[in-house]
Amino acid sequence: MTKQSDSEYWNNIYETKVENEVGWYQEQPSQSLNFIEAAQLSKDAKIIDVGGGHSFLVDHLLELGYHNLSVLDISEAALSKTKKRLGERAKYVNWIVSDITNFKTSEKFDLWHDRAAFHFLINAKDQKTYKNLVKTHLNSNAQLIIGTFSKSGPNRCSGLPVSQYDLENLETFFAPEFRIESGTNFNHITPSGGKQHYSFARLVKVD
């Protein structure tokens, strides 16, 4: 049975599909950028993008002047494609190949961003591990930006089941260590023209 943590499964997807053939393709990650702007971070803030292997978010963050960036993904193929796209700019990013539930680091971050990785964790143990990682590796008053399929969104993605969340669910799950500052729901339009309804929230770590 294929799981979120099967790197071969994800590598195959990125090796056999062009970037605009996957449903999560988003050349202009507007929701993420709007939330990051609202976070009012310094340009030297430590930012990690979880599940951002082939996302365009890192391109935009580099263009905006952020220079302490990490991108984590289970798929080495996805990261390789993004590094190739960035060219010389790739050397300014810390690239991490890891299943998020096995992520080990001594780093602490000022912003943890996750668009559509968390919702692939469908059992309570993995979800708890994720929450503990966020708590442990975010600095005081750091922020968490997270996007998932909403209760009105798909219940599967790339052939795998996902967990759905509304904004209240996200706030409840990450409480009491985090409080929600803002949230929104929106439809992501896939390259094929389909609609995927998302919940997106920005939370602040409470110390």
**Confidence class for position 1, pLDDT limits 50, 70, 90:** very low
Position 22 in a domain: no
20 occurs within a structural domain:
no
Other CB atoms within a 10 A radius of the CB of residue 42 amount to 10
pLDDT digits (tens, 9 = 90+) for 40-71: 999 999 999 999 988 999 999 999 999 999 99
* Segments forming the whole domain that contains residue 124: 7-15+29-205
Residue 136: give its domain's CATH number. 3.40.50.150
In this predicted structure, the answer to whether residue 96 has a pLDDT above a threshold of 90 is: yes
What is the C-alpha radius of gyration for the chain, rounded to an integer number of angstroms? 16
The residue ranking higher by pLDDT, 193 or 124, is: 124
Is residue 1 in some structural domain? no
Q: Tally the domains of the chain.
A: 1
Cis peptide before 176 (omega within 30 of 0): yes
Give a yes or no: residue 24 inside a domain. Answer: no
Residue 2 forms part of a structural domain:
no
* Share of residues in the chain with pLDDT > 90 (%): 76
- What tokens were used for 91? 């050397």
